[in-house]
């Protein structure tokens, strides 16, 4: 069987349980953005040199498969959606607290792009915020979403932001940026 069924050529797609909707449906936008987030996190993980962050990211990606599937399953579907639980949210909360406990990690904000790996996580963070906004927009337009999904996406954007800070912290970038803020950047006169 081919993945190219041509059934979507008319602008519709199938939800979990076989229900057909427009590809522009807010539900599709919500779970599609979660899929995009998972892909961007996959890229960030592929270039990340920190084994702990890589492992955390992979675990998050696996949870995002469940979360996207939960969003893709309408209440009228015969298929039961996967569950995003309070425990899933608590795991991220604990991770946020673990990283925040590192002395100096939150001593300064950073400009995205200071480090290649952290920049990839910054892109993922912004996609995560968009996924959260899309899920909320879906709810505000009558869609049904378990509150743990919104809580997970909200906590996840904090977690991803902290991954970037941890990468920069371990590379000594926070201290360098703090020094440049005091003295100004080291501009080259060659330009």
Q: How many CB atoms lie within 10 A of CB 169?
A: 23
Arithmetic mean of pLDDT, 22-29? 79
Between residues 77 and 97, which one has the greater pLDDT?
A: 97
Q: Is the dihedral of CA 39, 44, 49, 53 positive or negative?
A: negative
Say if residue 34's pLDDT is above 50: yes
- Rounded Cα–Cα distance for residues 119 and 128 (Å): 14
Q: How many CB atoms lie within 10 A of CB 108?
A: 15
User: Which fold is adopted by the domain 23-171?
Assistant: Hypothetical Protein Ta1238; Chain: A; (1.20.1200)
Distances from the Cα of 154 to the Cα of 70, 84, 157, angstroms? 16, 13, 6
- Rounded Cα–Cα distance for residues 111 and 78 (Å): 47
Q: Could you state, in order of their start, the residue ranges of all structural domains in the chain?
A: 23-171
Tokens of 38: 């998972």
pTM for this one? 0.85
Q: How confident is the model over 159-185, as pLDDT tens digits? A: 999 999 999 999 998 655 545 545 555
Q: Is the dihedral of CA 33, 35, 36, 40 positive or negative?
A: positive
């Amino acid at each position: 069987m081919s993945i190219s069924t041509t059934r979507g050529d008319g602008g519709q797609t199938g939800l979990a349980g076989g229900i057909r909707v427009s590809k522009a449906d807010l539900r599709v936008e919500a779970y599609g953005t979660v899929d995009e987030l998972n892909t961007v996190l996959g890229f960030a993980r592929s270039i990340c040199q920190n084994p702990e962050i890589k492992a955390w990211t992979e675990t998050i990606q696996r949870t995002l498969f469940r979360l996207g599937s939960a969003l893709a399953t309408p209440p009228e579907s015969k298929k039961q959606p996967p569950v995003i639980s309070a425990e899933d949210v608590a795991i991220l909360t604990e991770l946020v607290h673990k990283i925040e406990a590192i002395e100096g990690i939150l001593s300064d904000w950073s400009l995205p792009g200071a480090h290649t790996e952290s920049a990839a996580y910054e892109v993922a963070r912004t996609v995560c915020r968009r996924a959260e906004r899309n899920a909320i927009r879906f709810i505000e337009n009558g869609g049904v979403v378990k509150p743990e999904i919104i809580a997970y996406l909200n906590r996840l954007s904090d977690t991803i932001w902290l991954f970037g800070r941890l990468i920069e912290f371990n590379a000594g970038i926070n201290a360098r940026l703090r020094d440049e803020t005091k003295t100004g950047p080291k501009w080259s006169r060659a330009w």
